[in-house]
Structure 1
């Protein structure tokens, strides 16, 4: 990757970070080109180029006289677009998956002691939604993400969650690819059910064992 490409990708990543920091949602207006340039400490021409690329990818739209807005699909797809660049680096992909595994294993261990009834109920609901999507022929990508997010939230350790979230935001492409394998959705749901049973019974050894098996089978 050339220096110019790295600069461009860094700016796109920083714009994504600003969207998250400012808690912007699809339909919201992005900061102005000038403000983005100032916040990122780069030239306006570089920002303009990055915004043009995001617009061509149908992630944002420019409204004449109004500004630039996140498209309805764009807020959820920027991370996936970044992942297509990021995961070209095999070592980077390996590091992300390894770090995710370490965080989730420790989080599930804590969750066995700290998970609330509401969080256990939420996991049950997510599993039911996964089954509904599977039955209707859809990939439960968002439900898979929410199951693992709720697991980490159940540790009641905000730092773990804050480290975990960006790792998995960039891994949604990998989740989709994993669930697309023949027979994987049904097996994944069964593995999630085993993890939830262990959580409910507060059996941390089983919970960690089932989670490790699940992540290995998912090829995360």
Structure 2
């Protein structure tokens, strides 16, 4: 039975009552509302996503924004500082805050962060690559020119030279794969693929390095590239897509092996 004792005019709680109070305090802390500046961040991002705010638009002055969002000016300042750090807004001390134009650099950074958080799910990334690159290979086979074929062969030669010099040729390999997508002549597809490949290199560079270190015959990758170029040259979309799909699938398995081992 819980009993309270008095000592020098003060109430002393029993151990059980003290533990109960601590649990209640802990639960209250867990259910505490997120900081108000987070609400500022989320509401402004939502307005941008819904098209209410567009790149170049100026946000309301700090005082008006605070009134509209129902928070203090301090919370508004903190929220805007976070949005500036995320690259969502640009703050000019004289003019106030403006919505920034999305940039490729920002897209790469965001994608890299997402890939890093899900880096153990290697297959997800390579599935996306396979979907984009195999379709690009089909289009490349239909649209290629003699100049495109010369460029792809030069890129593969550069890749081969790097491997022969003991370099794992990350950039040359990236340039070759992007070259196939560029041969499809779809600027948007090239932009998307360039972003994905850049983020891939940043996240999986170490895993790829370790996987290739255990591969005795690196020249086979050069040969696989050459076969893909030949299929594009022959204007055979199905063969080009099939060869590239297997090439990407093999790369996925190699990287997955290293990532699983290092968990």
Normalization by structure 1: what TM-score? Answer: 0.60
1:46 pairs with 2:75: no
Q: Which runs of 5+ in 2 are unaligned?
A: 1-33, 42-76, 88-104, 256-263
Aligned to 1:153: 182
Task: Give the C-alpha shift of residue 130 in structure 1.
Answer: 1.2
Q: Structure 1 residues 205, 81: CA separation in 2 closer, same or farther (over 3 Å shift)? A: closer
- Is the Cα contact below 8 Å between 1:195 and 1:210 reproduced in 2? yes
Q: Structure 1 residues 104, 47: CA separation in 2 closer, same or farther (over 3 Å shift)? A: same
Q: Which runs of 5+ in 1 are unaligned?
A: 11-40, 52-75
Q: Distance in 1 between matches of 2:110 and 2:207?
A: 15
> Given the alignment, which residue of 226, 230, 234 partners 1:201?
234
Q: Distance in 2 between matches of 1:133 and 1:115?
A: 26
Task: Give the C-alpha shift of residue 163 in structure 1.
Answer: 2.5
Report the secondary structure of 2:229's partner residue. helix
- Is the Cα contact below 8 Å between 1:114 and 1:155 reproduced in 2? yes
Task: Give the C-alpha shift of residue 103 in structure 1.
Answer: 0.9
Q: Structure 1 residues 119, 179: CA separation in 2 closer, same or farther (over 3 Å shift)? A: farther
Report the secondary structure of 2:189's partner residue. helix
Task: Give the C-alpha shift of residue 195 in structure 1.
Answer: 0.5
- Is the Cα contact below 8 Å between 2:126 and 2:248 reproduced in 1? no
**Aligned CA-pair RMSD:** 3.7
Task: Give the C-alpha shift of residue 96 in structure 1.
Answer: 3.0
Aligned to 1:120: 149
Task: Give the C-alpha shift of residue 42 in structure 1.
Answer: 7.2
Say which one has the larger Rg: 2
- Is the Cα contact below 8 Å between 2:160 and 2:222 reproduced in 1? yes
Normalization by structure 2: what TM-score? Answer: 0.51
1:110 pairs with 2:139: yes
- Is the Cα contact below 8 Å between 2:132 and 2:193 reproduced in 1? yes
Q: Which stretch has the larger CA shift, 210-219 or 163-172?
A: 163-172
Q: Distance in 2 between matches of 1:101 and 1:162?
A: 16
Aligned to 1:214: 247
> Given the alignment, which residue of 117, 129, 143 partners 1:100?
129
Question: Deviation per CA, 1:79-133, whole angstroms, max 9, x where unpaired?
Answer: 5897366333258754332222111111100110101222211111111111111
Question: Deviation per CA, 1:146-181, whole angstroms, max 9, x where unpaired?
Answer: 011110011112222222222222111435633542
Q: Distance in 1 between matches of 2:143 and 2:233?
A: 11
Q: Structure 1 residues 186, 89: CA separation in 2 closer, same or farther (over 3 Å shift)? A: same
Q: Distance in 1 between matches of 2:78 and 2:226?
A: 48
